[in-house]
Amino acid sequence: MEIKCNALVLRAVDYKENDKLLTLFTADRGKLTAVCRGVKKASAKLKFAAQPFCFAEYVLAERAGRHTVISAFLHDGFYPLREDIQKFYAASSVLEVCNLLQPEGMEGGALFFHAVQTLGKMCQESEGGLLVEFLLNALALAGYPLRLDGCAKCGNAIKSRSRFSFDTACFYCDECSSENCAPVSEVTYRTLRIAAKAEEGELEADGVKRALRLLKEYFSQKIESKGESLSEYIRLL
C-alpha cells in the first residue's frame, strides 16, 4: 500500500550501510518511522528528504506496518536554521519537543502545524520568543497548560515577584504563595504572558532566557526528559 503524507523529519539516524531511519511527524498519522534507502551515497536523490527539519510531501510504501520512503517533494528545508547556531538549537528544541510529546500512532495535527509554522518564523525572526511561545502551546496541547491569568488563589494580577507551583502549573502572588513553590521574577512572568499573547509588550533577552529555564524545568518534570537541545540553546543565550 502507498501512503502520501505531509511530514516533518524529527530525527534521522544511520541505519545499515547506506540507509537512514527517519522519525516522521505527519499531520494525520502522528509520528511514524520510515526507512530511506541509499541516502548516504553522495549522489542520492532523496538525500534532502533524510535530514532533520525537512518538511515535504512523502510517498511511503507500507508493508506489515513498516514504511519505506519512495519519493518526496520538498515544501521547505528551513535552511537558515542550519546556518546560525542559536537558531539551530532553538529549532532542534522544537523537533525534540514534538518527538517527546507526540505519542506514536496518534493524530497530532495541531502540534504538527504549530511546529512547521514556528520553524518557518524562526528563519525570519528572533528565535527565542518563538520558542517560548511554541513550548507554551505544545505543553498545553499535551495537557500540561500553564495558567497565566494572575494569582491562582486570590485572582489578582501579578505585577511583581511571584511563585510558581510545578504541581498545579499556576502562579501565585507573594501573599498567597506557599513554601513549595519556586520563586519567579517579574520579567519571567511577563515574558510568558507576552509569548502566550495574554499581554502586549516587547520581549527582553533576559526574560526569554529565564522563561525558557522555567519551562525546561516544568517540561522535564512532566515528561521525565532533560531536553538536550533545549538545554544547549539555553546555555548559548
- For the bound state, the minimum distance from the C-beta of residue 195 to Zn ion, rounded and expressed in Å, comes to 22
Under 8 Å between Cβ of 35 and 21: yes
- For the bound state, the minimum distance from the C-beta of residue 163 to Zn ion, rounded and expressed in Å, comes to 10
What gap in Å lies between CA 4 and CA 61, rounded to an integer? 9
Would you give the binding string for Zn ion spanning residues 102-121, x where CB under 5 A is met?
--------------------
Residue (98 or 192) nearer to Zn ion, CB:
192
173 binds Zn ion (CB under 5 A): yes
- For the bound state, the minimum distance from the C-beta of residue 120 to Zn ion, rounded and expressed in Å, comes to 39
Burial class of residue 194, CB neighbours in 10 A (0-12, 13-18, 19+): buried
Q: Which of 135, 151, 195, 234 binds Zn ion (CB under 5 A)?
A: 151
Give the H or E element holding residue 57. strand 55-63
Tell me which stretch binds Zn ion (CB under 5 A): 80-88, 139-147, 165-173, 217-225: 165-173
- The size of the interface with Zn ion (CB under 5 A), counted in residues, is 5
Q: Which of 75, 153, 213, 222 binds Zn ion (CB under 5 A)?
A: 153
Tell me which stretch binds Zn ion (CB under 5 A): 86-94, 122-130, 147-155, 213-221: 147-155
Give the H or E element holding residue 15. strand 2-15
Would you give the binding string for Zn ion spanning residues 61-80, x where CB under 5 A is met?
--------------------
Pairing relation of β-strands 2-15 and 19-26? antiparallel
- DSSP E strands: which ranges in 150-224? 162-165, 170-172, 182-184
> In 3-state terms, the chain is what percent helix, strand and coil (to 5)?
40, 25, 35
Under 8 Å between Cβ of 55 and 6: yes
Burial class of residue 105, CB neighbours in 10 A (0-12, 13-18, 19+): exposed
All three cell numbers of 56: 515535504
13 binds Zn ion (CB under 5 A): no
Tell me which stretch binds Zn ion (CB under 5 A): 57-65, 152-160, 196-204, 212-220: 152-160
- For the bound state, the minimum distance from the C-beta of residue 177 to Zn ion, rounded and expressed in Å, comes to 8
Q: Which of 154, 182, 198, 205 binds Zn ion (CB under 5 A)?
A: 154
The site for Zn ion (CB under 5 A) is made up of 151, 153-154, 173, 176
